[in-house]
C-alpha cells in the first residue's frame, strides 16, 4: 500500500507542477487574436514553399498566398522537390502567377533533409532575384492562409521587434483518429515548449511550427542560414533555437493558417508522430527508457490507481486524473471537442508512448525519419 501511495503522490505532484509552474502551457493563451497596428512601412516578403508530390493541395495553398491583401511587396517561390504527380504544373496554373516563381529542385546533396534542401534553394533564389527581401515566410505546401495572415505576421514582427514569428496551424480534426490524436499533438508540443517561455527573451526555450514561420532575412543569415540546420529532423525547433540567439521570437496558435490535407487513420497519424519522436530524444536508448517510465507514471498510473487502488492511493489517482483532464480543456475547446475527451488523455498518452517506441525501432532498422520515400535519420548518424 505504501508503494502505491508513493506513486500516487509522485504522479499528483507532477501534474500540480505542470498545472502551476510550466509556463501556463495548458491555457493556450498565445494566439494571433487581437488588433495589431499597421507598421509605418510594409517590408518586402518572399514566401518560400517546398513541395514534393502535393498536387492535391498545392493550388489552394499557393492560391491563398497569391490572394493575400498584403500592402507591401510579396512574392512566392515554390520549389518542386522531385514531384512525380505534376505539382509544378498545377501550381503554374494558379491565377496570379506573375508573382510566383516555380523552381525545379536540384538533386538532394548528402547531409541534407529534403525539405531543408528545398528551402535552401528557395531562399537562394529569393536573394539572387535582385529585389529587396526583408522577411522570408517559410510555409508548407499543404497549408492554407487567410487573406490577412501575412499582414498580421509582419505587423507582429515589426511591432515587437521579433526576428521570428511562427504560427501553429490549425490541424485537421475530422476523422475518429484525428479527434483522438490531433488535439493532444498540439497539447504535448505546448508542454514540451511552453509558448509563453518561447516568447521570453530571457528564457532558453525556443520553438517554432514549420508549417508557417516568418523570419527576418538578416537574422537568418546571421544564424548561419538554412545550411546551419541542414540535417535536422525537427527543423522548425532547430531553426528557432538559432534565431532566438539573434533576437526575440514568438509562437502562437491560429485559425488563419490551416492544414489542407486530412491525416487519415490511426496508423498514418502514428507514422507522422513516429517520424520525429526518437529524434526529440536525441536518439538515446536511455532517454527512451526514461520517457516510457515517465509516461507510465504521469499518464497511466492515475487512472489505474483511481480504478483499481484503495484508500489514499485511489484518491491520489483520482486527483491526478482530474488535474490531467483539466489541463486538456483549453486545447479541446480550441479544436471544438467535448470536454469529456479530457478523461481519455491517459489512453492518448499510451498511444503516443507506443508511437515513440516505434520511432526508435524504425531508427534502429535504418528507416528513421522516413518521409515521402526518403529515410532522413540514419542509424550511423547518431
131 and 233 inside one domain:
yes
What CATH number has the domain bearing residue 256? 3.90.550.10
Q: Which of 237, 264, 291 is the last residue of a domain?
A: 264
In this prediction, residues 157-186 reach a mean pLDDT of 97
Q: Is a pLDDT exceeding 80 seen at residue 104?
A: yes
- 284: CB partners within 8 A, 6+ apart: none
Q: How are beta strands 74-80 and 45-51 bridged, if at all?
A: parallel
With a pLDDT cut of 70, the percent of the chain lying above it is 96
Structural domain including 147 reads 29-264
18 and 130 inside one domain:
no
The total of structural domains in the chain comes to 2
Query: What predicted TM-score, i.e. pTM, was given to this entire model?
Result: 0.94
83 and 117 inside one domain:
yes
Residue 143 vs residues 88, 98, 184, 213, 381: alpha-carbon distances, Å: 16, 21, 20, 11, 31
- Max distance between CA atoms of the chain, in angstroms, equals 73
152 and 258 inside one domain:
yes
Given this model, what pLDDT does residue 95 score? Answer: 74
254 and 289 inside one domain:
no
**In which band, very low, low, confident or very high, does the pLDDT at 378 lie, cut at 50, 70 and 90?**
very low
8 and 126 inside one domain:
no
56 and 187 inside one domain:
yes
- 27: CB partners within 8 A, 6+ apart: 330
**In which band, very low, low, confident or very high, does the pLDDT at 370 lie, cut at 50, 70 and 90?**
low
Average pLDDT of every residue of the chain: 94
77 and 202 inside one domain:
yes
233 and 332 inside one domain:
no
Q: Is a pLDDT exceeding 70 seen at residue 200?
A: yes
248 and 277 inside one domain:
no
153 and 216 inside one domain:
yes
For Cα atoms 283, 300, 263, give the angle at the middle one, nearest 5 degrees: 60
Q: Which of 264, 285, 315 is the last residue of a domain?
A: 264
Q: Which of 230, 264, 298 is the last residue of a domain?
A: 264
Q: Encode pLDDT of 52-69 as tens digits.
A: 999 999 999 999 999 999
52 and 200 inside one domain:
yes
Amino acid at each position: 500500500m505504501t508503494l502505491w501511495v508513493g506513486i500516487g503522490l509522485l504522479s499528483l505532484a507532477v501534474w500540480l507542477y505542470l498545472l502551476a509552474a510550466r509556463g501556463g502551457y495548458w491555457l493556450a493563451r498565445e494566439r494571433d487574436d487581437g488588433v495589431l497596428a499597421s507598421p509605418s512601412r510594409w517590408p518586402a516578403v518572399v514566401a518560400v514553399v517546398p513541395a514534393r508530390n502535393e498536387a492535391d493541395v498545392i493550388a489552394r495553398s499557393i492560391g491563398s498566398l497569391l490572394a493575400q491583401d498584403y500592402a507591401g511587396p510579396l512574392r512566392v517561390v515554390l520549389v518542386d522537390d522531385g514531384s512525380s504527380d505534376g505539382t509544378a504544373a498545377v501550381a503554374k496554373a494558379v491565377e496570379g502567377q506573375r508573382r510566383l516563381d516555380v523552381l525545379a529542385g536540384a538533386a538532394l546533396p548528402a547531409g541534407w533533409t529534403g525539405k531543408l534542401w528545398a528551402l535552401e534553394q528557395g531562399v537562394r533564389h529569393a536573394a539572387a532575384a535582385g529585389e529587396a527581401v526583408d522577411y522570408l515566410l517559410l510555409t508548407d505546401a499543404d497549408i492554407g492562409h487567410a487573406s490577412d495572415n501575412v499582414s498580421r505576421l509582419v505587423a507582429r514582427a515589426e511591432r515587437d521587434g521579433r526576428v521570428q514569428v511562427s504560427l501553429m496551424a490549425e490541424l485537421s480534426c475530422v476523422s475518429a483518429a484525428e479527434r483522438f490524436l490531433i488535439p493532444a499533438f498540439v497539447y504535448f508540443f505546448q508542454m514540451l515548449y511552453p509558448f509563453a517561455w518561447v516568447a521570453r527573451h530571457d528564457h532558453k526555450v525556443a520553438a517554432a511550427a514549420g508549417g508557417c514561420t516568418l523570419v527576418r532575412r538578416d537574422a537568418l543569415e546571421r544564424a548561419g542560414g538554412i545550411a546551419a540546420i541542414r540535417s535536422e529532423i525537427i527543423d522548425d525547433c532547430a531553426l528557432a533555437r538559432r534565431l532566438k540567439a539573434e533576437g526575440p521570437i514568438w509562437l502562437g496558435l491560429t485559425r488563419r493558417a490551416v492544414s489542407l490535407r486530412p491525416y487519415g487513420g490511426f496508423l498514418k497519424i502514428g507514422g507522422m508522430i513516429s517520424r520525429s519522436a526518437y529524434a526529440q530524444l536525441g536518439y538515446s536508448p536511455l532517454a527512451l527508457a526514461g520517457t516510457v517510465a515517465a509516461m507510465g507514471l504521469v499518464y497511466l498510473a492515475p487512472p489505474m490507481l483511481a480504478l483499481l487502488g484503495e484508500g489514499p492511493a485511489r484518491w491520489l489517482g483520482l486527483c491526478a486524473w482530474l488535474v490531467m483532464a483539466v489541463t486538456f480543456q483549453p486545447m479541446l475547446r480550441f479544436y471544438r471537442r467535448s470536454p469529456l475527451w479530457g478523461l481519455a488523455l491517459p489512453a492518448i498518452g499510451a498511444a503516443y508512448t507506443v508511437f515513440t517506441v516505434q520511432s526508435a525501432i524504425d531508427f534502429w532498422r535504418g528507416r528513421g525519419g522516413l518521409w515521402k520515400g526518403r529515410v532522413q535519420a540514419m542509424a550511423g548518424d547518431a
